[in-house]
Amino acid sequence: MSGFPRQQADLIVTTDGPLLTCAAPDGGLGLLEGGAVAARDGVIVWVGGKAQAEVEVSLSEDARRVDCGSRVLMPGVVECHSHPVFGGDRAGEFQMRVTGSDYEEIARAGGGIMSTVRETRAASPELLLERGRRHLDWMLDYGITTVEAKSGYGLDTDSELRLLEVIAELGRTHPATVVATFLGAHTVPLEYRGRADDYVDLVVEEMLPRVAEAELARFCDVFCEDVAFNLDQSRRVLQAAKEYGLLPKIHADQLSAGGGAQLAAEVQAVSAEHLDYIDGAGIAALAEAGVTAVLLPGAVFFLGRTHYAPARALLEAGVPVAISTDFNPGTCYSENPFLMGTIASCYMGLSAAQVIVGLTRRAAGALGMEEEVGSLAPGRRADILVLESEDYLDLPYHFGVNPVAAVFKNGRLVRDRSGGGRGGLVSAGKPQAAEAKAGRAE
Ligand code: NIG
Ligand code: FE
């Protein structure tokens, strides 16, 4: 018996294989061979070696014990850049793109983001909620337990507020933790073509105060790009956002180099996102200002392009690098974060460890939530993934598939996909009382 008080827990998840805490001080995987995670009331209270758990953790009578064999355990994925609430789709536009039309050309002709804006404005809140819920469900299937959701397909005050209200309702009702970002400056809507500054006035003088007053968003984002807003306009939006207490984020250097990364540093953005065309000065600016780079290789891939963000140069400069899907109807219609990991490996030269930390801890950093999600450590939410594989190197290697066997969110089992494969590893062997309790909770 040990001489110190044991941690009380109502959930323990164990493996004889790799446990990736993603909490190592060096920013690495924090790999434990044969590990356990214990939680109480949805919060992690203990992480360590499986044998040590016998000594240091005390389980309540109806605790859920989950023996995962030798399967990999890792933190829930944090999706830190997505556009999951919109009307319609762009499947037809995708066909135009793959047969020769260009993304910017379609946008200039009034398609692209504007075509989704038209369908979103015409959709009822109920439909938008149903669609948003479906997308978050798809994400949860892939182990995404925290989702940043942007507005940006309304582009008038009422439609933007409606989108943010739908996102708030998703946060109240979906198992995932949902973080809202106001993206009123996503593009200049058709009715303001040629009058971008007037539209920026609307964003700054009308939308932002309403969003802030209703406390509908934590972050404010802007698409800083030739086809959207220039540096001065982007700066105006982000500075105003800060005055209203929203934290700045920025879509920067996605389709061309435009100084967006430097602007991110100047306004002390929490993150700069895309960065496919960032240059040396931009990298230095992010490193100096401590801004997280959110890389979205799925968007480059799905646009049929080859100019990926310089991930290794960013890492070498000391910039924290997060990876996310950018799930949206135009540039990345995929909710599979592990596919993004494979693309990041193949085209950006990231290792499996860099990908996994990028999808979890670094993505949490891009939301200012490193103390809450993205790693397995005491005090974090008990958001735990059980993978079907016994080797984490399979994550980028076995590509385009869903490697997730089970998902715990706040200590609750919210997905168990294991039965279809090798046979009910998570649900089996659960004490009767825990089964009944989980059933009620879910
Ligand atoms: O992140 N870059 C701007 N926004 C999205 C694209 C949105 C769309 O095409 O509908 C992006 O790639
Ligand atoms: Fe985006």
269's CB contacts (< 8 A; 6+ apart) are 238, 247, 248, 249, 250, 263, 291
pLDDT of residue 418: 86
Atom 3 of ligand 1, nearest CA residue: 223
User: Per 3-state DSSP, what percentage of the chain is helix, strand, and coil (rounded to 5)?
Assistant: 40, 25, 40
Q: Quick check: CB of 181 below 6 Å from ligand 1? A: no
pLDDT reading at 127 higher than 50: yes
**With bands split at pLDDT 50, 70 and 90, how would you rate the model's confidence at 375?**
very high
Ligand closest to the CA atom of residue 303: 1
Q: CA 417, CA 14: separation in Å to the nearest integer?
A: 17
Percentage of residues in the chain having pLDDT higher than 90: 92
Ligand closest to the CA atom of residue 302: 1
Percentage of residues in the chain having pLDDT higher than 70: 94
Widest Cα–Cα separation across the chain:
75
Q: Quick check: CB of 112 below 6 Å from ligand 1? A: yes
Q: Quick check: CB of 251 below 6 Å from ligand 1? A: yes
pLDDT of residue 155: 98
Q: To which H or E segment does residue 338 belong? A: helix 337-348
Give the tens place of pLDDT for each residue, 16-58: 999 999 999 999 999 999 999 999 999 999 999 999 999 999 9
Atom of ligand 1 nearest to the CA of 116: 10
pLDDT of residue 5: 80
pLDDT of residue 430: 46
Q: CA 2, CA 129: separation in Å to the nearest integer?
A: 51
**With bands split at pLDDT 50, 70 and 90, how would you rate the model's confidence at 431?**
very low
Q: Quick check: CB of 153 below 6 Å from ligand 1? A: no
Q: For residue 55, how far is its CA from the centre of ligand 2 (angstroms)? A: 47
**With bands split at pLDDT 50, 70 and 90, how would you rate the model's confidence at 215?**
very high
Atom of ligand 1 nearest to the CA of 332: 12
Phi/psi at 356 (nearest 5 deg)?
A: -65, -45
Q: Quick check: CB of 116 below 6 Å from ligand 1? A: yes
**57-67 and 73-75 strand pairing:** unpaired
Q: CA 337, CA 82: separation in Å to the nearest integer?
A: 11
Q: For residue 37, how far is its CA from the centre of ligand 2 (angstroms)? A: 34
Q: CA 286, CA 292: separation in Å to the nearest integer?
A: 7
Q: For residue 330, how far is its CA from the centre of ligand 1 (angstroms)? A: 6
Give the tens place of pLDDT for each residue, 83-123: 999 999 999 999 999 999 999 999 999 999 999 999 999 99
**With bands split at pLDDT 50, 70 and 90, how would you rate the model's confidence at 69?**
very high
Give the tens place of pLDDT for each residue, 247-274: 999 999 999 999 999 999 999 999 999 9
pLDDT reading at 402 higher than 80: yes
Atom of ligand 1 nearest to the CA of 254: 2
Q: CA 417, CA 281: separation in Å to the nearest integer?
A: 46
Q: Quick check: CB of 233 below 6 Å from ligand 1? A: no
Q: To which H or E segment does residue 202 belong? A: helix 196-202
Question: How big is the chain by its Cα radius of gyration, in Å?
Answer: 22
Q: To which H or E segment does residue 31 belong? A: strand 31-40
- Structural domains of the chain ordered from first start: 7-75+375-436 (2.30.40.10), 77-365 (3.20.20.140)
Q: Is the pTM of this model over 0.85?
A: yes
Give the tens place of pLDDT for each residue, 296-322: 999 999 999 999 999 999 999 999 999
Alpha helices by DSSP H, 113-192? 113-122, 125-141, 157-173
Q: Quick check: CB of 223 below 6 Å from ligand 1? A: yes
pLDDT of residue 432: 37
Give the tens place of pLDDT for each residue, 158-212: 999 999 999 999 999 999 999 999 999 999 999 999 999 999 999 999 999 999 9
Q: Quick check: CB of 294 below 6 Å from ligand 1? A: no
Ligand closest to the CA atom of residue 117: 1
Q: CA 364, CA 80: separation in Å to the nearest integer?
A: 7
CB-side neighbour CA atoms (13 Å) of 133: 13
Q: For residue 60, how far is its CA from the centre of ligand 1 (angstroms)? A: 48
